[in-house]
Amino acid sequence: MSDLSVRELPLFPLPDVVLFPEEVLPLHVFESRYRIMLQNVLEKDSRFGIVRWDPSKKIYANVGCCAEIIQHQTFQDGRSNLVTLGQQRFRVLEVTSEAPYRRAVVSWIEDQAVTDLDGLHKLSGNVRTALEDVVELTGKLTGSEVSLPEDLPDLPRELSFWIASHLGGPAAEEQQKLLELTDTIKRLEREYEMLDQTRRQLAARTVLKDTLSNADLGNN
C-alpha cells in the first residue's frame, strides 16, 4: 500500500446519507463495533469512509467520501458525538474485513480536468442564478426570510458539491449519482436541470398565489 492513491479505510455505512467534500456531517456513534472503529481511527489520522447504505436494495454504494473528525466528545457510557468534514471521494476496490467493522481498500477519485474553462464558468454562473431564484421564490411562497450562506463556494466544482449536498426531499439516490460523477460540467448541468425545473414550478405557484390573493382582495 505504498501507492498514495490507494489505502485501506474503515467504512461507516449510513442509510440514505451521502457525504460530499467540504461538507460538515454530525454523527452519533453508539454501536459497539463503531465505538471500536472510532477508537482505532482517533489513534491514527482521524479519517474513515462514509458510504451510503440503500435500505430498499440492501446494498452498499461503491463510491463514498472520506470523513475527517474535527470535533469529538465521548460520554461515560461509551457513546460519542462527532463533527466530521468531508474530504476526498473514493471508490471501493476490495472489502478486506467485515468484523468488527467493515474495512476496504479504496482509491481516491477526482474530477477530470476541464478544458473549456469559459463554458464551465458560464454554466456555473447560470447554476448560481437558478439557485438564487429558487431561494427567492421559496421565500415569497413561504413568507419567510430565506437566504444563501455568505460563504457559498465560488469555484465551480465546490459549488456543484455544495448544491448536491443540499438537495431537498428524498434525494439520496440522486445525490449518490452526483457524487460518482467525475465531470464537473456534467454535475453542474444535471443540477441546473433540477434547479430550473424547481424554479419553473415555484414561479407558477407564485403566480397562482398572487392571483388568488388579488381575487380575495377584489371580493372584499
Strand partners, 90: 64, 108
Write down the pLDDT at residue 143: 81
% residues pLDDT > 70 (the chain): 92
- pTM for this structure? 0.86
Interval 69-82 mean pLDDT:
91
Q: Taking 70 as the threshold, does the pLDDT of residue 214 lie above it? A: no
The pLDDT-based confidence of 1 (bands split at 50, 70, 90) is very low
Burial class of 182 by CB neighbour count within 10 A (0 to 12, 13 to 18, 19+): middle
- Contact criterion met (CB below 8 Å) for 63 and 90: yes
Please tell me the distance from the alpha carbon of residue 189 to that of residue 76, in angstroms, as a whole number: 48
- Cis previous bond, 26, omega within 30: no
Q: Nearest to residue 43, comparing CAs of 14, 18, 10?
A: 10
Write down the pLDDT at residue 10: 96
- Region of 30 please: left (phi>0), alpha (psi -120 to 50) or beta: alpha
Q: What is the pLDDT of residues 112-151, one digit of tens each?
A: 999 999 999 999 999 999 999 999 998 888 888 878 888 8
